[in-house]
Structure 1
């Protein structure tokens, strides 16, 4: 049973600017789990890859905030990439189904939160 949903869209240029200004400091703060996939597999699309993951974390935060659950970027782990993208959250009893995408200018993520066992 779907109990909440969240969506977010991010400008890839905004992420490029943040990376230029803050570099690894931004990456470590928002993605403590690492984003090796973006640097090793998406060399020509690094900003879009990072922006899509950022949008995914934002969409998850929005979906859970509607349920009264407060999450931070560091609480959410986005692991792997491509067809093997996985998300870990510290909230028991729920799972998420998500979709992310990026193109030249924007990245987007959509999340459904499902109650396990329902």
Structure 2
């Protein structure tokens, strides 16, 4: 079953679509430039799937945008570094999240170095 479309993803998708159109590119051309299928670009533009954190810098560079303009509005109040971490965290499965939280806790407690 497809996930529900979230307003934040639609907002980011609109920014992405407008930037693509300003450059005069098709979804297929953008997809080829960053190594994904053009259909995925369309899905991101419609908010059908959240734009992965790893793709934001690529698209921002391609379109000459500030990477923060491709952050969901609920992440814009944090630094770009924090937003990248939050975006990556949201893409992880439950076990990956638990591991990352354990590692972060150990770093904060001084049990492991950066």
- Greater RCO between the two (CA within 8 Å, min separation 6)? 1
**Structure (1/2) with the larger strand percentage:** 1
- Scaled by the length of structure 1, the TM-score of the pair is 0.30
Looking at secondary structure, tell me which structure has more helix per residue: 2
Larger Rg: 2
